[in-house]
Structure 1
Amino acid sequence: MTAQTPTTAPADDAPLEVPVLDLSGMRRPDGSFDPDFLARLRHAAHHVGFFQIVGYGAQPGQVEDLFRVTAEFFARPEAEKMALHNQNSPHWRGYSAVAAERTQGRPDSREQLDFSPDREPVPAERIGADEQYWHLQGRNQWPAQMPQLEEQAMAWTALMDRVGEELLGALCVAIGLDEDHFADAFDRDRAWMAKLAHYVGGVAEAGSQGVGLHADYGFITLLLQDEVGGLEVRPYGQDEWLPVEPIPGALVVNLGEMLEVATDGYLMATIHRVQSPPEGVDRYSVPFFYSPRLDAVVDRVELPAELAAQARGVSDDPDNPMLASFGANMLKGFARAHPAVTQRFHPHLLG
């Protein structure tokens, strides 16, 4: 499909907020993208980097059932959860306990279960020095006592993969590209990531850090959060943190470093964090990271002159550089977030 030119959008000097977009109105009856939807999407993606979506196609009861089985899993005996410990996985898959994951060098007050597409691992002898990201491919770990957890989590990721594909196409058209601009990178074996997360308040080691400030390293993040709240974003050029108020059943969407690299900062991987809930309060979330193949390399796109003039450049951190190779960018993130796993299976990555 050819690119379309968005028409109207909120004024650039309007107060920043996290807008809500209805995906059911994204396309017109003839299948083309609605220009007004594209304008609002482009404004949100450029100025805030975060927005929420409704009308994305979840089945009745699907959200509630997913949260229910997630809470049931984290309420299981510690021994059952530790049997799925990610330190048993050279692919950084499985369970990690409260304060085991680190952001900005500090522990996060959440426990989680990480999973991705379940595939045969790549034999170590076939992985070259510049292809270390293939260590990320492998098998998931699920609780045998709860088959419904895998069933519902994987059904959710199938939906999220379709939503991510639609949104990426709309974003491309919104910035003057063809809808299928990134199709080659997403062809065949996509390496999406997902996790079930449980935030716990009152963890002395973590303090108020549910998850420390960071940007995501993929393309598009689709987050299902419960009604407790705690997610905050800091858009480009802003000093204040903007709360992302929970909307039951909505998805919070933010853009990752791959799109920031590709658009030279016109689309931003916005910094965000999660404040831990009060002691005695549980917070659950299910983030999904829509991602291409591990070996995909993202080149700079050619934006229309009007948009290129507004590109801010890549907000690179010399201690955490953004990489055009998706697999390398993802590996860097996992190696830092889970140093115990990295030390056990891939100590050379910590050098």
Structure 2
Amino acid sequence: MDAPSDSIPLLDLRAARNKDGFFDPAFIAALRDAAHRVGFFQLTGYGAGPAQVDELFGATSSFFDLPLEARLELDNRTSPHFRGYTRLGHEVTQGRPDAREQLDFGPERPAVVDYPANQPYWLVQGPNLWPDGALPELRGVCMAWAELMSRVGAELLSAIAVCLELPEDHFAEPFRNTPAWMAKLVHYVGGVVKEAGPQGVGAHADYGFVTLLLQDLVGGLQVLPPGSDDWIEVEPMPGTLVVNLGEMLEVATQGYLSATVHRVEAPPAGVDRYTIPFFWSPRLDAVIEPVPLPPSMAAQSRGISDDPDNPMLASYGANVLKGWLRAHPEVARIHHPELVRAPGLTSPAEAPTAP
């Protein structure tokens, strides 16, 4: 019988491999349990010291302390690639504005000028928007963090493959050369966005492979484990990563691993909450096929928790574009009006976002 899903497991990445370089069976067993039963866990020993964490949080708060006009120089409405700054209340989840502002960034790559008409997802690739004049250190701090998170994401995905009794490089090919990871600097502000009410971010699942979230000590992140009716709190732990699985792994395992639903409560009025989510995601043109599961795991697969208004797509690029178009309707209307009503890309339901 499964253990109760009323807490978030804690794993130490330093225990992942033995001295011979192979994954430790005890770590794999703990990871398999956390990934299947809850879909969330906390991670220590991933390679960041307190100084790097403090530097990242310091740079994040410094960005949101800039005058609004300076932040609006990076307005994401100017970016056809959904990069840059989103104002308070202008990202939407479950039909309601979120009580947060954010800066979205990804790999530093040029825009794709020519792409096939049936592959519009290439439009999400493009340059980032940075406050190089007002806060020149931000770019380097953020990209150094992204480099570390890329290594952590790749290692965890290798371990997840072993959990599924697959070769540890099973998921490597979709990430080869140009993984389309995404990251955000997020600032939650309570009591300002009236339409948000208590919603920091509404209930959603993430659409990539693995999400690595660094959160401050304010709290507010809640998780709804598979098969449960009870939300559980993810208690903040200094410098610890909160890890959850995305829709690509649910598609690949037909629900043995789940993209667990989660939400964030807005902080009290006058309280700031900062988080830095990183989404370890494959190439935009990657298509994720079901993996061969051992019979014992296949028997425990829950199936895909699909929503007709928000289907999970095996094409990562199509899945992520669907999300961007819904979460940022203003950007979609300005730059991509031809896609706003494209079948399978938009619907009244809102897209997954990030805690």
- CA-CA distance at 1:27 after TM superposition: 0.4
Q: Report the counterpart of residue 187 of structure 2 in structure 1.
A: 198
Distance, in Å, in 1 between the alignment partners of 2:120 and 2:49 is 38
Distance, in Å, in 2 between the alignment partners of 1:96 and 1:263 is 34
- CA-CA distance at 1:129 after TM superposition: 2.2
Distance, in Å, in 2 between the alignment partners of 1:76 and 1:162 is 31
Q: Report the counterpart of residue 234 of structure 1 in structure 2.
A: 224
Q: Report the counterpart of residue 130 of structure 1 in structure 2.
A: 118
* Unpaired stretches in structure 1, ≥5 consecutive residues: 1-10
**Aligned pair partner of 2:247 in 250, 254, 257:** 257
* 1:78-115 per-position Cα deviation (integer Å, ceiling 9, x unaligned): 00000100000000000001100001111000000000
SS in 1 for 2:148: helix
- CA-CA distance at 1:55 after TM superposition: 0.3
Q: Report the counterpart of residue 327 of structure 1 in structure 2.
A: 317
- CA-CA distance at 1:182 after TM superposition: 1.2
Q: Is the 8 A contact 2:10 2:43 kept in 1?
A: yes
Q: Report the counterpart of residue 154 of structure 1 in structure 2.
A: 143
Q: Report the counterpart of residue 179 of structure 1 in structure 2.
A: 168
Distance, in Å, in 2 between the alignment partners of 1:317 and 1:60 is 41
Distance, in Å, in 2 between the alignment partners of 1:69 and 1:242 is 30
SS in 2 for 1:61: helix
Counting only pairs closer than 5 Å after superposition, residues 183-332 of structure 1 correspond to structure 2 as 183-202=172-191, 203-332=193-322
Root-mean-square deviation (CA, aligned residues, Å) is 0.8
The one-letter amino acid of 1:183's match is: A
SS in 2 for 1:185: helix
The one-letter amino acid of 1:223's match is: L
Q: Report the counterpart of residue 56 of structure 2 in structure 1.
A: 66
If the length of structure 1 is used for normalisation, what is the TM-score? 0.95
- CA-CA distance at 1:17 after TM superposition: 1.2
Distance, in Å, in 1 between the alignment partners of 2:5 and 2:11 is 17
Q: Report the counterpart of residue 53 of structure 1 in structure 2.
A: 43
Aligned residues: 339
Distance, in Å, in 2 between the alignment partners of 1:218 and 1:53 is 19
**Aligned pair partner of 2:73 in 61, 64, 83:** 83
SS in 1 for 2:194: coil
The one-letter amino acid of 1:118's match is: E
Q: Report the counterpart of residue 30 of structure 2 in structure 1.
A: 40
Distance, in Å, in 2 between the alignment partners of 1:333 and 1:120 is 21
Distance, in Å, in 2 between the alignment partners of 1:216 and 1:108 is 16
SS in 1 for 2:157: helix
Q: Is the 8 A contact 2:5 2:37 kept in 1?
A: no
Distance, in Å, in 1 between the alignment partners of 2:5 and 2:146 is 34
Aligned identity (percent) is: 61
- CA-CA distance at 1:147 after TM superposition: 1.3
If the length of structure 2 is used for normalisation, what is the TM-score? 0.94
Q: Report the counterpart of residue 351 of structure 2 in structure 1.
A: none
Alignment of 1:99 onto 2:89: yes
- CA-CA distance at 1:60 after TM superposition: 4.1
SS in 1 for 2:227: coil
SS in 2 for 1:73: helix
SS in 1 for 2:140: helix
Distance, in Å, in 2 between the alignment partners of 1:13 and 1:192 is 33
SS in 2 for 1:170: helix
Q: Report the counterpart of residue 17 of structure 1 in structure 2.
A: 7
Distance, in Å, in 2 between the alignment partners of 1:138 and 1:13 is 44
Q: Report the counterpart of residue 143 of structure 1 in structure 2.
A: 131
Q: Is the 8 A contact 2:40 2:244 kept in 1?
A: yes
